[in-house]
Amino acid sequence: MSRRLRAKQVLALDGKRTMIQHTVARLKPLAVEKSFWVITNDDLNEVIAAQLPRISLQQIISEPIGRNTAPAIGLAAFILARLDPDAVIGMFPSDHVIADEGKFQKIIGQAAELASQGENMVVLGIHPSRPETGYGYIEAGEKLSGGLLRVKRFTEKPNAERAQEFMEAGNYFWNSGMFVWSAQTLAKALREHLSETAPYLEEIAAAFSTRAFEKTFARLYPKCENISVDYAVLEPRSAKGE
């Protein structure tokens, strides 16, 4: 059903709310609507704005070209770090189905608290129910307090044999793609691990809310690396045991 102009996040698969409306609704107990930001593209900008009328149009940002999640969330981090140096960011792809929203909200609250306490990067893992080859995996290491686990490494979509090994090992989780960190922590990590891309994002962020924003965005964003945030920022850190 998903098509370029009607992608899955704007479809109402349950016949009631679209996936992006569900995403916002389940997060509203945790944050006011003026703190919601959407990174999308020109094909979906208008339909998302119509589906989320309470979110400011200025906070629905359309990429001039797709560059995966690192530049998208990175741009948000640099913008928010300028607007609020103490901001904590949650990254939530709008293609999840969450059955127990109360438990989900509790976990996000814990993640936000941890992220606000220092240079902590939190990723939500999902207990695998089958040896799935279509998802990335997180290998968990040391147990921390409060039910937290230190990330040992990320593994992109494995073959069936390796996915079965991950299931049997018991310390692997599906990578949900949901992350929580402070804007300052993510900005710092991007400067360290995406040193060529970060200056472009900072320049775009500096132009936000000015007449030069759209032109600056269109000129510099295509120069950014096409890479996911887990492999740009978190994988290098986990490889070092951080």
Domain boundaries in the chain?
64-239
pLDDT, position 106:
95
Smallest CA-to-CA distance from 78 within 220, 183, 217, 223 is with: 183
Higher pLDDT, 33 or 137: 137
CATH number of 64-239: 3.90.550.10
**b/e string for 80-102 if b means 16 or more Cβ within 10 A?**
bbbeeeebbbbbbebbbeeeeee
Q: What is the mean pLDDT of residues 164-178?
A: 95
Does residue 241 surpass a pLDDT of 50?
no
Q: Is the pLDDT of residue 107 over 90?
A: yes
**5 or 58: whose pLDDT is higher?**
58
What distance in Å separates the CA atoms of residue 195 and residue 209, rounded to the nearest whole number? Answer: 25
| pLDDT reported for residue 239 | 46
Residue 242: what pLDDT?
Answer: 42
The reported pTM is 0.90
pLDDT at 166: 96
The confidence score (pLDDT) of residue 237 equals 52
Question: Is residue 4 pLDDT above 90, yes or no?
Answer: no
**Looking at residues 184-209, what average pLDDT do you find?**
96
Q: What is the pLDDT of residue 232?
A: 81
In this predicted structure, the answer to whether residue 240 has a pLDDT above a threshold of 70 is no
- Alpha carbon distances (Å) from 99 to 26, 145, 179: 10, 26, 19
Six-digit token pair at 211? 């007449």
Range 59-83 average pLDDT: 95
Give me 134's structure tokens.
């279509």
In the predicted model, is pLDDT for residue 103 greater than 60?
yes
